[in-house]
Amino acid sequence: ANPGDLNEDKIKLLRMYGVNRISMGVQSFDNQLLEDLGRLHRVKDVEENINHLIKHGLTNISIDLMYGLPNQTIEIFNDSIEKALSFDLPHYSTYSLQIEPKTVFYQRHQKGKLHKPPEEVEASMFELLIEKMKQHGKFQYEVSNFAEPGYESKHNLTYWDNNYYYGFGAGASGYLPGKRHINLRPFPAYVKEANASGQPILHIDEVGKKEQIEEEMFLGLRKRTGVNKNVFKQKYNVTIDQIYQEQIQDLIARSWLEETSDYVRMTEKGQLFGNEVFQRFLLDDQEFNKLFK
């Protein structure tokens, strides 16, 4: 939910209809940064809505924060973390700003009008975040997510475990063995096609075994528990070492990965180089075909 779109009446209605968890896109507790991001809410809106949620018994609250924002210093980010933790919520998500093509930020960046903090500053922000969350009893269960025990996002864990899921409703996506689909988004078009054919699907992507294995590693390594070796073998009828032994040993030597008898997982240091770690698990077509011929 966007903090600017919530109010006490909506919260009471959500509670009445059985909603038991709210995730709010706070992004920052600095009003100037919120304005720079084009967000419509301000810090007071967040504070008021958290108080309303708690007042009406909706205490399973998560908030999203961002780091690596233009004009954001470590001090400003630290203030946002401290303010967020002062509410002692059970779940926090944190993301660095990604500048995607065809966005306002991308256009500003291309024109030299948007300046993100240097990579080393962004890394320091991430390290600060992990330390602050530890101090307040919020354990990191995924690269970007922190929670009290029992309050992990079950919805998102479905994705990170690379499990299958159904997608119902306009614009929903689903993932079933060998395929991923997205439903029609405009609601009238969705209803029309559902009534006509019973399959209001926009498009279907085939997901081959190679892609499934790569995704198993990318997604699984995001979790602090890492990739479960036994589950991997059950799913793909091959061990992780048969495919990735060289990559794993190299990343262990760099202190980016660690390995137990049951798991392969990223170290805290490795999380700072996540994209580089993930790239090592892209499979060469010829090598893959040799393994699964």
Contact between 257 and 277 (Cβ < 8 Å) = yes
How far apart CA 244 and CA 6 sit, in angstroms, is 47
Average pLDDT over residues 108-119: 81
Q: Where are the alpha helices (DSSP H) in 70-223?
A: 74-86, 104-110, 119-135, 154-160, 187-197, 209-222
- Token pair for residue 29? 């507790």
Q: Classify 152 as helix, strand or coil.
A: coil
Task: Using the predicted structure, report yes or no on whether residue 106 has a pLDDT greater than 80.
Answer: no
Question: CA-CA distance, 29 to 200, in Å (whole number)?
Answer: 41
DSSP 8-state secondary structure symbol assigned to residue 276: H
Query: Strand 173-176 and strand 145-147: pairing?
Result: unpaired
CA distance 156 to 162: 10
Flag the least confident range among 75-84, 93-102, 179-188: 93-102
List of domains in the chain: 3-152 (3.30.750.200), 160-206 (no CATH), 209-291 (1.10.10.920)
**26-65 pLDDT tens trace:** 999 999 999 988 899 999 999 999 999 999 999 999 999 9
Q: What is the mean pLDDT of residues 240-263?
A: 96
Q: Biggest alpha carbon distance in the chain?
A: 61
DSSP-derived secondary structure letter, 111: T
Q: Please tell me the total number of residues recorded for the chain in this structure.
A: 293
218 and 280 Cβ atoms separated by less than 8 Å: no
pLDDT at 155: 92
The model's pTM is 0.91
Question: Does the pLDDT value for residue 105 go beyond 80?
Answer: no
State the CB neighbour count (10 A cutoff) for residue 111. Answer: 8
pLDDT at res. 78: 98
